[in-house]
Chain A
């Protein structure tokens, strides 16, 4: 069960003088989820295009479900599904016709396609929209249809290139649910994302790439641990109490950072027991607290720590899909 479903071995891709991917390797065990995390133009899409046989690597190779991407691309295509960056559904076809087109190109039996289409449309909440042309779909519906189309042949390995780019928060959470279901059914997933939260939510392992190289990898937990210790954060309810709270806390910690605006004291954490003791002390002191707790560094902090620059802007502005496209387009 833990044999690798996806392996990349020193993938390199040059576009003229531009080095888009510079020696990327990773292994994705069967039934797990790998998040390929990185900012715009980091080489995520190019890596996926190489692994899905759309682009030939300059050097290096990879295997999907045991098939070499260079030696046996046809077998690779039979064992994987791909949902690209832009939802590549045919706008003039209905949802059902989109499924039928791809199903028949896979060489699936017509009756099977009909049955599987019904199931997929149902599962992706598109049953009612199934006979409408995709042009009338919302962004979220198109993404779901795109994913459904990738699943018509039930491939054991699925590549998703920025599956939630441009989706509103609700559609994103819905899509995550669907992806979790797929994984629990045994599908291996590789997804690229620039949303740190998404990688944290879905991935068993994360590979962080920046400027074409892997700069870190591990579980979300490991990555968070790597970028420094957790912090103990105390928030007082009333601003004037802040000085008293600081005096109370100082003997029990190594250092204290005071944030007056947020009415917050931050100190290096020293474990759960320590936090409980500090909580007890405040309880006895009568200083009213809004909150006391441990804060792990976010993946944003991790990224800053690893690369020295912030990860790209959040998904909410719709402009960033085009930016991602044009960045890699230019590299081409």
Chain B
């Protein structure tokens, strides 16, 4: 009875599928370039704001001054916001039924998440390039070697990877894009500011200083500053992560991923499979 041609459905691998989904997310950016604002205009604005407005009243003892000190902090913050991008994108896809449509196809259910991760890392990378160019313009330089420079960028992207899981978790748990915006603003902004990102921690009240120096994002920022030669001598009484920022950063990335990824996958599953 069937008169239709039934094409061959070839089994594809997870990466092929994830790439198809990531490509779709890139098309979104091409159609709506304003989606890149969070890794372009916003951080550039922050750089200018802090470098020229607040920076004059923040004292740091780095060789090339506050602007060089600032850059690693803003990069760490920008990459932390990757969680934001992932959460918003995922919630929108869940809301619109796009995720269900994907799940009704003969693909690995993880492809949706992996695809989202790939496009998010690309998104963050664009941010890092924009930040670096802005930095070069205002006088930031890397004073170390190629290997250490690359390791700095690698840590930032590793941090972005851990943040993707946070984004998947929040995105799967929230019912609307507005809710995601609310939760992420209320958490990510204080977390990324209560750290050594924009100002040195040694003049904070002791209580805040301890929190700030144990904040994972401070370890990352300190590690990147050290790797790029933008750090200032450690103040007396600095917490342990400030003395060993690179191993601490790697540890945080592993720990956050190990804790949040299973939670994120479980929340995503129960959101979609029921």
Pick the contact of A88: B3, B7, B27, B101 (CB < 8 A): B101
Task: Report the minimum CB–CB distance from B114 to chain A (whole Å).
Answer: 13
Are A54 and B103 also in contact (CB < 8 A) when A97-B27, A185-B3, A187-B4 are?
yes
Can you give 12 A-B contacts (C-beta < 8 A)? A31-B1, A54-B100, A54-B104, A80-B104, A82-B101, A84-B100, A88-B101, A92-B27, A102-B101, A105-B20, A153-B6, A185-B4
Q: Shortest Cβ distance from B97 into chain A, in angstroms?
A: 4
Are B24's CB and A56's CB within 8 A? no
Which of A74, A97, A101, A112 has a CB less than 8 Å from the CB of B106?
A: A74
* Beta-carbon contact of B4 and A93 below 8 Å: no
- Using Cβ atoms and an 8 Å threshold, which residues of chain A touch B45? none
9 A-B pairs closest in CB distance: A186-B2, A88-B97, A107-B10, A107-B12, A77-B106, A82-B104, A78-B106, A88-B101, A186-B1
Q: A332 interface residue, CB < 8 Å from B?
A: yes
Tell me if A116 counts as interface (CB < 8 A to partner B).
yes
The distance in angstroms between the C-alpha atoms of A136 and B165, with both chains bound, is 33
6 more contacts with CB within 8 A, not counting A77-B104, A107-B106, are A54-B100, A88-B97, A92-B32, A101-B21, A105-B105, A156-B2
Whether B8 contacts A109 by the Cβ 8 Å rule is: yes
Q: Does the CB pair B272–A93 fall under 8 Å?
A: no
- CB proximity of B266 to chain A, nearest CB, Å: 15
How many angstroms from the CA of A154 to the CA of B8 in the assembled complex?
10
- Interface code B88-106, partner A: CB below 8 Å = 1, 0 otherwise? 0000000011101111111
> Measured between alpha carbons, how far is A106 from B105 in the docked complex, in Å?
7
Q: Which of A131-171 contact B (CB under 8 A)?
A: 133, 149, 153-154, 156
**A258 → B minimal CB distance (Å):** 52
Which residues on A sit within 8 Å (CB–CB) of B274? Answer: 15, 55-56, 332
A86 to chain B, nearest CB (A): 5
**Residue from A85, A102, A116, A332 having most chain B Cβ neighbours under 10 A:** A102
CB closest residue in chain A, given B272 = A54
> Counting CB contacts under 8 A, is A90 at the interface?
yes
Q: A54-B100, A84-B101, A92-B32 are in contact. Are A154 and B5 (CB under 8 A)?
A: yes
Q: Could you say which residues of chain A place their CB within 8 Å of the CB of B96?
A: 86, 88, 91
Check if B11 is an interface residue, CB within 8 A of chain A: yes
Given A15-B274, A77-B105, A101-B24, also A153-B7 (CB < 8 A): yes
Count, chain B residues at interface, CB 8 A: 37
Is A201 interfacial (CB-CB < 8 Å)?
no
Chain B residues in 8 Å Cβ range of A156 = 2, 6
**Quick check: B273 and A90 within 8 Å, CB to CB?**
no
CA of A109 to CA of B5, assembled, Å? 14
B273 touches A88 (CB 8 A): no
A-to-B contact residues, CB < 8 Å: 1, 15, 30-31, 52-56, 74, 77-78, 80-82, 84-86, 88, 90-93, 97, 101-102, 104-109, 112, 116, 133, 149, 153-154, 156, 185-187, 332
Q: How far is the CB of A151 from the nearest CB of chain B, in Å?
A: 9
Are A92 and B31 CB-contacts (below 8 A) given A77-B104, A108-B9?
Answer: yes
Complex partner residue of A53 from B1, B27, B104, CB under 8 angstroms: B104
Q: Are B3 and A133 in contact (CB under 8 A)?
A: no
User: Are B24 and A108 neighbours in the complex by a CB distance under 8 Å?
Assistant: no
B107 interface residue, CB < 8 Å from A?
Answer: yes
Residue B267 interfacial (CB < 8 Å):
no
A85 to B21, CA, bound (A): 22
Cα–Cα, bound, A88→B6 (Å)? 23
Judged by a CB distance under 8 angstroms, whether B176 is at the interface is no
Roughly how many angstroms separate A56 CA and B274 CA in the complex, as a whole number? 7
A105 and B17 in contact (CB under 8 A), knowing A1-B1, A90-B24, A112-B7?
A: yes
Contact at A107–B9, with CB atoms within 8 Å? yes
**Complex interface: chain A residues within 8 A of B2 (CB):** 156, 185-186
Given the complex, which residues of A lie within 8 Å of B106, measured CB to CB?
Answer: 74, 77-78, 106-107
Q: Is B244 an interface residue (CB 8 A)?
A: no
Chain A nearest CB, measured from B34 CB (Å):
12
| B273 contact from A54, A105, A186, Cβ within 8 A | A54
Residues A106 and B102 in contact, CB atoms below 8 Å apart: no
B219 to chain A, nearest CB (A): 37
Residue of B3, B10, B97, B106 with highest tally of chain A CB at under 10 A? B106
The interface residues of chain B lying within 8 Å CB-to-CB of A88 are 96-98, 100-101
What B residues does A106 contact at CB under 8 A? 9, 105-106
- Min CB gap B107→A, angstroms: 5
Nearest-neighbour CB distance to chain A for B5, whole angstroms, equals 7
Across the interface, which residues of B come within 8 angstroms of A112, CB to CB? 7
B28 within 8 A of partner (CB)? yes
Q: Please, which residue of chain A has its CB at the minimum distance from the CB of B102? A: A105
Chain A residues contacting B10 (CB-CB under 8 Å) are 107-109
B1 & A154 in contact (Cβ 8 Å cutoff): no
Name which residue of chain A comes closest to B97, CB basis. Answer: A88
**In the assembly, what is the distance between CA of A185 and CA of B3, in Å?**
6
Q: A55 vs B104: C-alpha distance in the bound complex, in angstroms?
A: 10
CB-defined contacts of A116 to chain B, threshold 8 Å: 7
Q: Is the CB of B7 within 8 A of A86?
A: no
Whether the Cβ atoms of B107 and A105 lie closer than 8 Å is yes
Residues of A within 8 A of B4 (CB): 154, 185-187
Name the B residues within 8 Å of A108 (CB-CB).
7-10
Q: How far, in angstroms, from A104 to B20 measured CA to CA in the complex?
A: 7
A contact residues around B107 at 8 Å (CB)? 77, 105
**Smallest distance from the beta carbon of B32 to chain A beta carbons, Å?**
6
- Given A93-B27, A116-B7, A154-B7, check contact A102 B105 (CB 8 Å): yes
